[in-house]
Amino acid sequence: MTKKDVATFLEYAACSTCRKAKQWLDKNGVDYQSVPIVEKPPSAGELSRLVKQSGLPVQKWFNTSGQSYRALVDRIGKEGLAKMGDAAKLELLAADGKMIKRPVLIAADKVLVGFDEQAYRSLAR
């Protein structure tokens, strides 16, 4: 990604990791369009595409420290979630933006989930 490319940054304003990632993007001159993930969560179809691009399994897209995830586990148990197929998991993620691990940075053909400064640095070159 060059500094002329505009990335898409899916974030939750109350998330400290999102704020830290945004500060890094601003400091390093990376242009991005911010999208509020809670108000405008990606559709299941879009998530399917993003998951494939990220190279991560669907399970890694869950915000396991969030209240939405904990409520889900309380309802169906970790075993119940593990038994679900990817399509069902994508539907859960699409239904609740707080369930998605964040931030999500979409830059050209790369998708990064969470904030890892080294991974962000590799995109900014």
Q: What is the pLDDT of residues 99-109, one digit of tens each?
A: 999 999 999 88
Q: What is the pTM of this model?
A: 0.91
Task: Using the predicted structure, report yes or no on whether residue 44 has a pLDDT greater than 90.
Answer: yes
In the chain, what percentage of residues exceed pLDDT 70?
95
Among 51, 36, 35, which Cα is nearest to 92's? 51
**pLDDT at residue number 124:** 66
Is the pLDDT at 2 greater than 50? The verdict is no
Confidence tier at 89 by pLDDT (50, 70, 90): very high
Q: How many percent of the chain have pLDDT more than 90? A: 90
Return the closest-CA partner of residue 73 out of 96, 98, 82: 82
Give every CB contact of residue 101 below 8 A, 6+ residues apart in sequence.
60, 61, 62, 63, 64, 113, 114
